[in-house]
Structure 1
Amino acid sequence: MKGQGATHSSQAGFTLHEFLFVLLIIMVLISIGGPRLNSAKQAAQEAQVRQIANSFATALMLVRSKWELEGRNAQFGKNSVLYDNLRLYLTTPESPGAGVQAGNLVDVAGEREVNVAPHAITADSCQKMWHALLDHPPLISASLAELNQSGNNAQFFVIAQRRGLDSACHYYPVGGLSKLAGQYQDPHESIDAIVSFSYRPASGQVITHVK
């Protein structure tokens, strides 16, 4: 009848089909965006590693050049040079056929006695070289336990690989290390699956490892 308006009720909300459709869209977006985000993250890590590796290699060349220009100085029978007020010790082959190139940085003076043999490098000497060669270097750690502590801000992790003439310092960006149960895992000297760079004192080579 006229004057009696019909009562309408409307309820806002998703039907099951609408909810499933929205969920499907979200899953598609995640599947597309996830790989792109990971790719961008890896590209940033690779760029950072390349930049630091280049700076590291350039500083090594400056150290060696200074040593050559100053007449290949030695201290206590070990090749040595002062660089930025630091006493740096360089490889000192016992004989020409030892397979070790003379004049490559191997350690920085400290309280302990320095061993200039490439196979004698330690994580500590790798860290000292990092700080001696780089201007304002990123924080670095050689301890997984330290790395996994709450509030630790280290950006790089270093391992000393001691294998004769192939001995090397391996430098890894922390963001590239694998995690298990929220804990960073030991890369076990891997250079194939993880973005990193290495320095080999026997040859003086700086090698960048990217996927």
Structure 2
Amino acid sequence: MGTEMKNKQQGFTIIELIIVVVILGLLAAAAIPRFTDVSSDAEDAALEGVAGGFASAVGIVRGEWELSGRPQGASGTGAGAEVFMDQILLYVDGDTGYPVSGDNEQAHDENMVAADCVSVIQSILLGAPKTTANFNDLAETRYYTYVTQDSAAGNDMCVYYLANTIKNETNAPSGDDYLTLGNAFVYNPRNGGVSIHSNNQ
């Protein structure tokens, strides 16, 4: 009779386990920066998507202003010119036709307030992201807005911050902070321009 061979199963040796752990560690170290980049890329894409939709909507409002015969405000000035988009009343600058408010007929591109910026985005974008002018509401909103001055032309502009990119700030952004802080797009009602400012490191 032949001797019967038994198959013995052995576990991994300590050396093999250490090699597996080292390989997994190297893979994780290579993957983690990619996942953090994905987060920054997602923030950039979200901002660019909303800014692009906003810019298109601004152009449509101006087109409606042109088709309506370039209406002026009640006083004959640019302030308070009305345009209706799908039965939604918008106030535009009577000189340029770009929206300056969704609910304040006195608004003009030279004396806008943050509430005008909120009403513009809510009025011209279908399914607009929740936007606030109150810095303390960042946790409950997608965009934070404030008004800043265009130093070259002297008119007011709306700054729309992606709230998630400034949530760790202790003070509300103001002025030209959008050039160096967080991710934002800026709307200039003087010329309808929308510029994107991404400050991801």
- Does the TM-score normalized on the shorter chain lie above 0.5? yes
Q: Is the alpha carbon distance of 1:30 and 1:179 closer, same or farther for their aligned partners in structure 2, counting shifts above 3 Å?
A: farther
Match of 2:7 in 1: none
Q: Is the alpha carbon distance of 1:30 and 1:141 closer, same or farther for their aligned partners in structure 2, counting shifts above 3 Å?
A: farther
1:109 aligns with 2:100: no
Match of 1:69 in 2: 67
* Aligned residue type for 2:156: S
Which of 111, 115, 131 is the aligned partner of 1:124?
115
* Aligned residue type for 1:168: M
Q: How big is the shift at 1:134? A: 0.6
User: 5+ unaligned residues in a row in structure 2: which ranges?
Assistant: 1-13
Structure 1 Cα separation of the partners of residues 23 and 168 of structure 2: 30
2:89 partner SS: strand
* Aligned residue type for 1:49: L
1:199 aligns with 2:187: yes
2:45 partner SS: helix
Per-residue CA deviations over 1:68-120 (Å, capped at 9, x if unaligned) read: 11111224134321122222222235xxxxxxxx211111234xx5131x231
Structure 2 Cα separation of the partners of residues 171 and 64 of structure 1: 20
User: 5+ unaligned residues in a row in structure 1: which ranges?
Assistant: 1-14, 94-101
2:128 partner SS: coil
Q: How big is the shift at 1:28? A: 5.1
Match of 2:126 in 1: 135
1:171 partner SS: strand
1:157 aligns with 2:157: no
Match of 1:33 in 2: 31
CA RMSD of aligned residues (A): 3.2
Structure 2 Cα separation of the partners of residues 179 and 31 of structure 1: 26
- Answer yes or no: is the 8 Å Cα contact 1:195–1:209 preserved in 2: yes
1:177 aligns with 2:177: no
Q: Is the alpha carbon distance of 1:146 and 1:195 closer, same or farther for their aligned partners in structure 2, counting shifts above 3 Å?
A: closer
* Aligned residue type for 1:174: A
Structure 2 Cα separation of the partners of residues 74 and 185 of structure 1: 39
1:82 aligns with 2:84: yes
Which of 136, 141, 146 is the aligned partner of 2:137?
146
* Aligned residue type for 2:100: V
Which of 36, 42, 54 is the aligned partner of 2:40?
42
1:158 partner SS: strand
- Answer yes or no: is the 8 Å Cα contact 1:197–1:208 preserved in 2: yes
Q: How big is the shift at 1:127? A: 0.5
Report the TM-score, using the length of structure 2 for normalisation: 0.74
Structure 2 Cα separation of the partners of residues 135 and 157 of structure 1: 18
- Answer yes or no: is the 8 Å Cα contact 2:185–2:197 preserved in 1: yes
Q: How big is the shift at 1:132? A: 0.7
Q: Is the alpha carbon distance of 1:73 and 1:193 closer, same or farther for their aligned partners in structure 2, counting shifts above 3 Å?
A: same
Report the TM-score, using the length of structure 1 for normalisation: 0.71
- Answer yes or no: is the 8 Å Cα contact 2:103–2:116 preserved in 1: no
1:73 partner SS: coil
Match of 2:156 in 1: 167
- Answer yes or no: is the 8 Å Cα contact 1:178–1:185 preserved in 2: no
* Aligned residue type for 2:117: C
Q: How big is the shift at 1:177? A: 1.6
